Amino acid sequence: METAGGIVFSGIAPHPPIMVPEIGKTAIVEVRSSIAAMEEFTRRVLASGAQTVVLISPHAPLEPAAFVAYSGPKLFADFSNFRAPETTVEAELDKELLDAITLQANSLNYEIVELRNWELDHGTAVPLYFLQRHGWHGSVVAFGYSFLGVDDHLRFGACIGEAAAKIGRRVAFVASGDLSHRLKPEAPAGYNPNAHLFDEDVVAAVSANEPDRITRIDSTLRKLAGECGYRSMLVAVGATPAASLQCEVLNYEAPFGVGYLVAQLSNANTATISDAAPESTDDLPQLARTAVETFVKEGIRFEATPPQGLLAARAACFVSIKTIDGDLRGCIGTIEPQQDTLQQEIITNAISAATHDPRFYPIAVEELPVLKYSVDVLAPPEPAVFADLNPDVYGVIVESEDGERRGLLLPDIPGVGNATAQVEIAKRKAGIQPHEPVKLLRFRVDRYREQLGPSD
């Protein structure tokens, strides 16, 4: 669906470098939920039809009475300061949009100072890393905020939206910022027993679809929280038209005493995986079919054209192959994405389902005409307790306490009528004994089926 220019998506993203696998290494297990939420965040950016991403970071060089913008034509950063110099991000500057924002801001007497020959700060680079890792490859405008007041940051956000609308540019706005830095005694900025109240206020405002409440958080509370994302969020609120609010907390966690929030404020689409899907629900299973038939007949991997939309995003998926009569013939999937795009994930898993499912012999050429395909695209998993499970709606992942064994069961499986049965089957698949305690995660799926015979 073609959307008029303006802010078509807005959201909040954290920026701890430890989230970047090349930096965090084994410690990324502590921020796994944030990493998964950034996958979903990127899917929604892609689904919105955004042409340019605008980011604002608290760690850009500060000008007391002016906003700053990184100059192009290329925007670049590496992570040398975090012992990962070979890990980089690079994007084209949307100079036309930057000029339009500057003109709009100048009309309200706000100055934008361009930063020439500056590498992007980590508050910009970390969200951009995850956007690009999960399929975003468009142009970028990157800002830093100022020491001006609350209303000034709200008005500057409005300038961004108005400029995008004037030049017909579909823009996703990303407010980079972490919440309180003082949530635990070992936190980097020390501990304050009331710091959690700031995070709770922000999360509650987003959850209630009332982000303007963020603008009214008491300044004393902000200071004692030691936050770094407040002004970024103000600009996001200002950039987001009230009529388009579709707020949702995708994830909040604070494993190191710093609050990390991934949230959506608005989306021109309906903000689910299905909304980014191809026009035909047969497109994904048709891709699986083509991958299998090409491999079985010719012995080569199918080379698809460059993907767009959902297929360009990173996502885990399962590919199931059944006979026309509904008998399972192969099923292979991934709990976490292993390929750069969903398109490649489907191709890889389809070939594996046809040739490497240990329960079945490889599919032969003569079987191909009587097979049908389905693809389950997994949303990022979220931590759960047993009461949160519903096997008709959610799939489940069980994980042993040492993290070495994991088992998954998709939702809506015939014969799995309750959460107890769902967890027991997932445990068996993982080699976890019935009495062993496990961590639980749940996830939603979007299921795409071919309809060539009796229903599954």
Q: For residues 439 and 33, give the distance between their C-alpha atoms in angstroms, rounded to a whole number.
A: 13
Do residues 263 and 302 both lie within one domain? no
**Most distant CA pair in the chain, distance:** 73
Q: Which of 271, 302, 325 is the last residue of a domain?
A: 271
Q: What does the pLDDT read at residue 101?
A: 98
Q: Tell me which residues of the chain have a pLDDT lower than 50.
A: 1-3, 270-280, 453-456
**Shared-domain flag, residues 356 and 230:** no
Sheet with 445-449: list strands edge to edge: 328-333, 317-323, 371-378, 445-449
- Same domain for 62 and 98, yes or no, is yes
Say yes or no: 230 and 345 in one domain.
Answer: no
Q: Are 262 and 203 in contact (CB under 8 A)?
A: no
The verdict on 252 and 294 lying in the same domain is no
Which pLDDT value is given to residue 276? 44
Domains identified in the chain, total number: 2
Q: Does some domain include residue 407?
A: yes
Boundary-marking domain end, from 250, 271, 292: 271
- 161 and 209 inside one domain: yes
Which of residues 240, 271, 302 is at a domain's end? Answer: 271
Closest CA to 12 of 270, 239, 333: 239
* pLDDT at res. 452: 55
The confidence score (pLDDT) of residue 315 equals 85
pLDDT at 268: 78
Query: Do 198 and 343 belong to one domain?
Result: no
- 247 with 357, same domain: the answer is no
CATH, residue 370: 3.30.700.20
Is 90 in the same domain as 135? yes
- Co-location of 35 and 82 in the same domain: yes
Residue 57 lies in a domain: yes
Write down the residue that tokens 């008491």 correspond to: 218
Measure Cα distances from 44 to 82, 158, 248, 277, 412 in Å.
29, 22, 12, 11, 25
- Whether 248 and 359 map to the same domain: the answer is no
pLDDT at residue 282, as a whole number:
62
Residues 160, 115, single domain; the answer is yes
**Does residue 127 sit within a domain?**
yes
Check residue 273 and give its pLDDT. 42
**1: in domain:** no
CATH number, position 26: 3.40.830.10
Q: How far apart are CA 439 and CA 13, in angstroms?
A: 26
Give how far the C-alpha of residue 237 lies from the chain's centroid of Cα atoms, to the nearest Å.
20
Burial label, 88 (beta-carbon count in 10 A; 0-12, 13-18, 19+): middle
Range of the domain at 429: 278-456
Residue 187 lies in a domain: yes
